[in-house]
Structure 1
């Protein structure tokens, strides 16, 4: 007999999930984790964003649209919101201490300054690296030790197709995402013996407010859509399934992996389909 309950292996009932970065894709990930029964703490630099996502999760549960985890009574299943600037020294460590035991940690916060490398300033470089790479390092140091002590936990880092493929103007962003993936692999190796799994989800191009400028350029938006095998952009909710899977017992033997959720972008060779 298997020890895994197939009927519930994707459920997160009774687990505490922390989502760092709750705008756009992060908001949908928080909703997906809550729908599987997790109690979600929403962390974002913009307090209004974190509060809005927390309130959305609580409303969903009041309307019977989400699972029911073991909450503490603070709205819905005890979902919470915290304003956190992850680039501030010690900020993540302080929140981690306040939150206590965390079963699932999802890191989505990132930024890009789209410029060719020779046009980059040192300040811009430091800003992108500080959020995309240093904050991943700091979040692991803040939350993983208690996971190690308890012998269980799942960390999911959002990387990008830019971790493996690049274009002009994406160099620093791509370098941080490739670096984040190497942190994921190293953490998986170092924390695996203690029962903590660390993985990444790499989205392709996703319809979010941050990509609106690209989509507003018809030629540019179409070119990105046609680059994938599915011929379109992703919707934010289409990233959620991979994250929830990695957070759950269904992925109990998955660590150190990067799941590509890119519509086949990295699988196909260019935009032109030759006659066959």
Structure 2
């Protein structure tokens, strides 16, 4: 007997417990809505407590799910252990982890320094903070998934984790893609492969979602940068936040049940040419 195709069930996350790091950021907030709209109870993990609490209230009211805002620093092992403890106490399981957090030292005047002048202290802080949080969340939540014999991890990366940043597009804009960003996002892609292979036989799927640049009218005021970036994509534009809704849902749900150790690239064709 042929199995029936039910697209709604294929992509649904009804009553799934999802831990989303970096939930109060631009993309994190969008991801929280996408996951909640599919029925998931999203654990919102961020250091921006006010934004996170407000987001939790919005999600509960709009989707009638059970979101939980947790204000912790994922670079602190004790705090990540605390996160898993309170989530298990309330929901008894953790189905999905979305490693979306990305720490940026926005107030450091040297954050946009070129490679030759990039401060060693900033290199150490940026690489340590970003990779440490990824490691701790994957380790502690992976332990639980291993005991459950089931779980899904989605790591959010960038095109600059798989190709070099084209410095020509930045021009005189105050934007750039520092070496630390490439190291973090590139390391994340290969950590996906490592964990997928490591948990072989544990029914834990681990995949990367690699994104192109998302247009933000507050951030991208330099028209020359937007034009140059857009011209490097086949589709001729920067991404909109909603362009990633389907790909995130695909990787988090049973729609990707035969996919692990892979990298799904959604970039408007940037890396195709």
* Coarse TM-score class (shorter-chain normalised): 0.7 to 0.9
SS in structure 2 at match of 1:199: strand
Structure 1 length as normaliser, TM-score?
Answer: 0.86
Correspondence list, 1:247-266, <5 A:
247-266=252-271
Summarize the Cα distance change of 1:102–1:192 in structure 2 as closer, same or farther, 3 Å threshold: same
How far apart are residue 89 of structure 1 and its match?
A: 3.7
Equivalent residue number for residue 18 of structure 1: 19
Contact 1:234 1:262 in 2 (8 A): yes
Q: Distance in 1 between matches of 2:118 and 2:84?
A: 34
How far apart are residue 198 of structure 1 and its match?
A: 0.6
Equivalent residue number for residue 173 of structure 2: none
Consecutive unaligned residues in structure 2, runs of 5 or more: 105-110, 168-176
Consecutive unaligned residues in structure 1, runs of 5 or more: 62-75, 269-276
Q: Distance in 2 between matches of 1:93 and 1:121?
A: 32
How far apart are residue 232 of structure 1 and its match?
A: 0.9
SS in structure 1 at match of 2:42: strand
Equivalent residue number for residue 236 of structure 1: 241
Equivalent residue number for residue 101 of structure 2: 109
Deviations 1:185-218, CA, capped at 9 Å, x for gaps: 0000011310000111111111247xx44x1111
Matched positions, count? 251
Structure 2 length as normaliser, TM-score?
Answer: 0.87
Equivalent residue number for residue 274 of structure 1: none
Q: Distance in 2 between matches of 1:13 and 1:105?
A: 15
Equivalent residue number for residue 32 of structure 2: 30
Summarize the Cα distance change of 1:119–1:89 in structure 2 as closer, same or farther, 3 Å threshold: farther
CA RMSD of aligned residues (A): 1.7
How far apart are residue 122 of structure 1 and its match?
A: 2.1
Contact 1:28 1:237 in 2 (8 A): yes
Deviations 1:75-123, CA, capped at 9 Å, x for gaps: x321110111122342212211211121011111114543322212122
